[in-house]
Amino acid sequence: MIRRYRLRKLWAPTAGFAKAVGALVLGLVAFFLGLGLSFRTIIYPILKWANDQTSRAVGGIVAPENVDTAKWAAGGALLLLGFLLVVRAVQFTLRHILETLNPGTQSGRLDVYVRRQQLSQGPRIVAIGGGTGLSTLLRGLKHHTSNITAIVTVTDDGGSSGKLIKDKGMIPPGDIRNCMVALADAETSMTGLFQHRFKNDSGSLSGHSMGNLLIAALVDQAKGDFEKAIEIASDVLAIRGRVVPSTLFHVSLRAELEDGREICGETAIVQAGGHIRKLHLEPRECKPTKEALEAIRTADLVVIGPGSVFTSIIPNLLVEGIVKALEDSRAQKVYICNVMTQPGESDSFSASQHVSAILANVTGHPFDIVLLNNAMPTTDALKKYLESDQHFVEADIDRVRALGFRAIQGNFMSESDFVRHNPMKLAARLISLIE
């Protein structure tokens, strides 16, 4: 698998030129065969006539003993001039084509081309999750490859997504929209439009995300085909990779709490305030999308998380067939543990408790490696998060290893207004697992 990826990376700049090279070779062979067959009857008489005319013209200008030298100098100059004109013409042609196809490409065209070719031949990576954690990861991965498939949970029932579920009976688009924006190669104005959220005083539009409404409109135009709508939206944003829902079934979460309560709905589960013992999808027989299964089957690397363990990670793994596909895949499979706990879900959880929660809810072995952050946030940041009942996730690496997993630790943290994973550090470490 790794050798295959390295070979693709080596030949990346020539990818997609097989037909063109074949046609060029056949054309050159035909040209030289024709040149050989017609040289004595067509080419040679023309060259002899040109030589005679040149000799006569040069002979009228320079002394007879200098004619050969003058002809040699004139011939060399004409060859050089002709070569430069051909190269310049090709440059002008390619530049015109590129500017016509992409008016925003004004400089570094060769660098842009080579970079995109390299990305197109990068490793095939599957990222599974939801929420802000998955979109953070995707922002880093897209700088290493465009062969990314984001498999996104569809259990969100709050905010704009919840309203669209109720009003239109559609798959919740919120997490999918965030992932598309994270992978976007479009202008900032377009991604900003997709992420724009209407204020609470906007009447019936209050709380809605513009991107969610655009996806809803595309679903209508596609006659209810949610996958087609996502494909069109992805083209608009020029994303590097693709985003697919883990299932097209209308599913909801049901949690069994340790105090005996059963709570239905993602938002209600988070707000319930109890420890989750077991999580289920309703209906339980929901099938995964074909695109998700195929992406896992052909992946070089599968990444699960980061994200809320009960509402972003486990729901994807509960979709029938996903864990089996992960177990059958030859790819390296990595779970990225959160940096901070989630209130109402993973209160005071250590890294090993995150892993144990996944194993307690799924049947099988969905990953082999656990990626842990061991960098500590500042004291001020920890105090700020403590006010929201959030804690730093302890990287108890020995307990993770005792559960049977390979543990990788490092500084993968970014601290600004929020403490979260640094997308570039995270992506670089993941790519190093392949390279």
175 and 131 in contact (C-beta within 8 Å)? yes
User: Residue 145 is which amino acid?
Assistant: T
Q: What is the pLDDT along the chain (435 residues), one digit of tens a residue?
A: 555 656 666 665 556 667 777 888 898 899 888 888 887 788 788 878 887 777 777 777 777 767 677 777 877 888 899 899 998 888 888 777 767 766 655 555 656 666 777 788 899 999 999 989 999 999 999 999 999 999 999 999 989 999 999 889 999 999 999 999 999 987 677 888 899 999 888 888 888 999 999 999 999 999 999 999 999 999 999 999 999 999 999 999 999 998 999 999 999 998 887 889 999 999 988 999 999 999 999 999 999 999 999 999 999 999 999 999 999 999 999 999 999 998 888 888 999 999 999 999 998 999 999 999 999 999 999 999 998 889 999 999 999 999 999 999 999 999 887 899 999 999 999 999 987
CATH topology for the 122-153+246-434 domain: Rossmann fold (3.40.50)
Name the 3-class secondary structure at 124: coil
What pTM did the predictor assign? 0.80
Contacts by 164-167, CB closer than 8 A, 24 or more apart: 164/212, 164/216, 165/250
Residue 52, pLDDT score: 79
**CA–CA gap between residue 216 and residue 58 (Å, rounded):** 77
**CA–CA gap between residue 153 and residue 296 (Å, rounded):** 15
Domain boundaries in the chain? 122-153+246-434
Give φ, ψ of 348 to 5 degrees: 65, 20
Residue 333, pLDDT score: 98
Mention every residue, 6+ apart, whose C-beta is less than 8 A from residue 279: 253, 254, 255, 256, 310, 314, 315, 318, 361
DSSP string, 129-192: E-HHHHHHHHHHHTTT-S-EEEEE-----SHHHHHHHHHH-PPP-HHHHHHHHHHB-S-HHHHH
1, two tokens: 């698998």
305, two tokens: 């998380």
430 and 141 in contact (C-beta within 8 Å)? yes
DSSP string, 146-159: S-EEEEE-----SH
185 and 169 in contact (C-beta within 8 Å)? no
Residue 111, pLDDT score: 65
Residue 314, pLDDT score: 97
Mention every residue, 6+ apart, whose C-beta is less than 8 A from residue 276: 255, 256, 257, 258, 269, 310, 345, 357
* Closest by Cα among 322, 314, 294 to 360: 314
- Residue 127 has what DSSP assignment? E
- Size of the chain in residues: 435
347 and 310 in contact (C-beta within 8 Å)? no
369, two tokens: 């490696």
Element (H, E) at 332: strand 332-336
* Closest by Cα among 336, 338, 316 to 325: 316
